[in-house]
Amino acid sequence: MRRDAPRTRSWSPGLITGLMLLLATVAPVQAQDASKVLRATIDVTKTGEPIERLMWGHFIENLGNWWEGNAWAELIGDRKFYYPVDNDTIQDPPNRRRWVNQWTPVGPRSSVVMDSARAYVGKHSPRILLAGADPRGIRQVGLPVHQGQSYVGRVVLAGDPAAKVAITLTWGPGPDDRQVVRIQENLSQEFRTFPLTFTARADNPRATFEITGTGNDSFLVGAVSLMQADNIDGWRPGYIQLFREMHISTTRWAGNFSANYEWRDGIGNPDKRPPRYDFAWHGLEPNDVGTFEILDLNRLIGSEPYIGVNAGLGDEHSAAQWVEYVNGSLNTPMGKLRADHGHPEPFAVKWWGIGNEMYGEWQIGHMSIDHFVIKDNQFAEAMRAVDPSIILVAAGADIYQMQADSRDRPRVVSPPYKYDGPFDWSGNLLRYTGRNMNYISEHIYGPYGANAQYFDSASGKWVRDSVAPIQDRLRRIPTRAHAAAEEWKGYLQRMPWLKDSGIRMVMDEWSTGGGGDLAAGLTVGMTLNEMFRHTDVFKRSDHTCAPCAIDYNRWDPPVLRSNGLVFKMLGDRFGTLPILDIGGNSPQPQLHGTVGIDIPHTPSGSPTYPLDVMAALSKDRQRLTISVVNPSASAQKLQLQVGGAKLPNSGRTWTVSGPTIQAGNVAGKPPEVTLTESTLSNANRPITVAPFSINLYEFQIR
């Protein structure tokens, strides 16, 4: 809502979405013959280029609570004191990240002074002015602790040797509902680090953490940390397990934050990494999750890293130094620095991206395309001079993406945009920087489901699609994937040299709206199906985002949402050789919209409407897997007909489904969306496909 928009009745977005989805599923917009049997003809002899392992990737960035209060195990908010310690409830600049607890004084406000002259890290550190036997210090409320759980951490202190400092974790109102760690050594004027260990003896989602002192003079707190003791290199083990279950093959660490990110702030001693303000997402960035931590995460979940450098406010020299820090030998300055930080061996990271959505006015450091092609070439040449073996991805945006983003950010020029013009961002990048790229990126965002929009050519405006049945509105994201593939083939026609260049497209951000309901899982299933139809175009995929596929809070164990379950199901079993010849008796209708602006020339999906069917063989061609998504509110009958092999009468089935399209999995509550396995018999007869379900059928073929 715009700041100047009139206030209306406050309805939650989730409630509105749910009501609209419910109405859409029951509205008699398009009658369907429930007795009709859909046919899917699958010719297993006609396969396309293999589905790359990198198609199972996810996108992550230092955003909101994707780390703090989520996968990263740190419990202390603002642990290096970016904000002053006071009783104010408003932080300046505003911190939009949730669950970042504030520090307040223990004792009068005047007992805590923010000392800039003796700052341990950042711009200042709190100095506690002591008052004899009366404790003075700082306090943070809101730490989630569980009975029997151990917690480990540290505190960095300096001060008067006579000061007696105690650190207290309190989980209840009684005098025994706490544990105190007393610093036994005398403080000194030099900062020193002291270990902390606690074990909670009761559950409390809002425990209190205090650092207090008695005596005379003062002491300083430089930094403090507290994590659950069973963390794995700083990561919560429950999240590591779920990331593994989703078969995340690669993680793209980039995004809007990268345009104002200084990578040097995220290396070395975590306590000495300065806290910064992230102007992209308007929140505190503690820099605890930096280069080593991201690479540790990839190691722990078995994925391949993909790093996006700062092409917003950054420069090519800094980007090249980052490549050298990660990949350089000990004989290089940055390689030696990496070794000094505890990792002598190079990481050999192959995938690197130059910038993120640099075409967008919202992107920090945005510039016109005629200027950015200069910058992109400078970055590529500098980075490759350090490591010629790296794979470089240019920050592209085809005509569809440019026009879709203009929906919310009107430009001087209205759609349709012309190819080879100033708003053909990818086209200009390919023409003028193609010699320096291996791949070019594409992103897919935009309203889908109940909030779907389309471009009305008659009015020249984007309007809400309130008429189409829900199965069509859920196709908006996969339709954009189809449009991107269609657009790539248009680039090949306009630039024939691309055919032999090896350059292809990577869909390194695509969103299902961030919701946790079953609609998100249905959209993931159809979008993956669509990208698998175009493996000649798409060589990697990074779903937005890995944490978005998980429901979490600070208290309960995390759980997979519907989209996470779809990644788990398909990542477990789906084949690697996509079958390109899938016919049917029910063509997909074209969506509302305008060709060349928001819909492609041909509809997405398989000719089995309303079902979406995609199939693939295992590498040895002995196993046939069929992905079938039913985004409609009605059960559908599907007859499978296989050419080039004999379809056995029995197989196995996995299904992600829920009682309604609004069903979702919430941490701490019984799951509503489930992944179930069953045996399929009579496969040569029509199969009943449940409403609002994503299904995987597996057959051993001869």
The residue extents of the domains of the chain are 32-50+580-700, 53-72+232-571, 103-228
Beta bridge partners of 204: 145
pLDDT digits (tens, 9 = 90+) for 456-477: 999 988 999 988 999 999 999 9
Q: Report the CATH architecture of 32-50+580-700.
A: Sandwich (2.60)
Average pLDDT, integer, range 277-286: 94
pLDDT reading at 513 higher than 80: no
Asked if the domains at 53-72+232-571 and 103-228 fall in one CATH topology, the answer is: no
Give yes or no for residue 30 having a pLDDT over 70. Answer: no
Using 50, 70 and 90 to split pLDDT, how confident is the model at 409?
Answer: low
pLDDT digits (tens, 9 = 90+) for 176-217: 999 999 999 999 999 999 999 999 999 999 999 999 999 999
Residue whose token pair is 């089995």: 608
What is the torsion angle, in degrees rounded to the nearest 10, for the CA atoms of residue 192, residue 195, residue 201 and residue 202? 60
| pLDDT over 70 percentage in the chain | 94
- Give residue 700's identity as a one-letter amino acid code: Q
What's the pLDDT score for residue 28? 37
- Please report the pLDDT score of residue 676 as a whole number: 98
Mean pLDDT of the 23-31 span:
40
Q: Give pLDDT, residue 515.
A: 72
Quickly state the pLDDT bin for 261 (edges 50, 70, 90). very high
Here the tokens at position 525 are 């299933």
Amino acid at 334: M
| Cβ proximity of 568 and 662 under 8 Å | no
Predicted local confidence at residue 35, as pLDDT = 72
- Look at residue 406 and give its three-state secondary structure: coil
d(CA 307, CA 301): 16
pLDDT the model gives residue 130: 98
Q: Which fold has domain 53-72+232-571?
A: TIM Barrel (3.20.20)
The tens digit of pLDDT for each residue in 410-455 reads 666 778 888 888 889 999 999 999 999 999 999 999 888 878 899 9
User: Is the pLDDT score of 67 beyond 90?
Assistant: no
pLDDT in tens, 646-663: 999 999 999 999 999 999
Q: What percent of the chain has pLDDT over 90?
A: 84
CB 127 within 8 A of CB 98: no
Average pLDDT over residues 529-543: 96
pLDDT at 8 over 80: no
Closest CA to 477 of 598, 644, 389: 598
**674 Cβ contact partners less than 8 Å away, ≥ 6 residues apart:** 565, 656, 657, 658
- Among all chains, which residue has been given the structure tokens 């002291």? 194
**Cβ(507)–Cβ(59) below 8 Å:** no
What would the two tokens of residue 53 be?
Answer: 């392992």
Q: Look at residue 422 in the predicted model and tell me its pLDDT.
A: 86
> pLDDT-based confidence at 313, cuts 50/70/90?
very high
In the CATH scheme, what is the code of domain 103-228?
Answer: 2.60.120.260
* Strands 582-584 and 37-43, bridge-based pairing: antiparallel
pLDDT at 18 over 70: no
Report the C-alpha gap between 697 and 702 in whole angstroms. 16
Mean pLDDT for the stretch of residues 10-24:
38
The letter for the amino acid at 568 is: K
Closest CA to 415 of 460, 370, 369, 472: 460
Return the structure tokens found at 682: 């009579």
pTM more than 0.85:
yes
81-137 per-position pLDDT tens digit = 999 999 988 889 999 887 778 999 999 999 999 999 999 999 999 999 999 999 999
Contact 566, 524 (CB under 8 A): yes
Lowest mean pLDDT among 30-44, 196-210, 382-396, 682-696: 30-44
